[in-house]
Amino acid sequence: MPALTMHGLLVWIIVGAVAGSLAATLLRGFGYGLIGNTIVGIIGAVIAGWLLPRFGLTVSAAVARSIVHATIGAVILLVLIGFIRR
């Protein structure tokens, strides 16, 4: 795994914020604010980065792929959190 640079960290935070916000919008009532949504988006990116290639799902453009994957992962995470909170 390559070293994480400041640029890479900033990209992860931005992608996480966008993905977390999109996931919260898709699943109304599951928002956790800017910081919470960013964390959910980053964790969602990790989940999707592991899970989606196993199903053969990819998107061609790098940034678009990251946002789509992170959003899907964040939605999965938010659904799991919803089940646990019940």
Residue range 48-74, pLDDT digits in tens? 777 777 887 765 567 777 788 888 888
CA distance 26 to 77: 13
- Enter the tokens of residue 83: 């089940």
What are 10-49's pLDDT values in tens digits? 777 788 888 888 888 888 766 677 788 778 888 887 787 7
- Write down the H helix ranges in the chain: 6-26, 33-51, 62-85
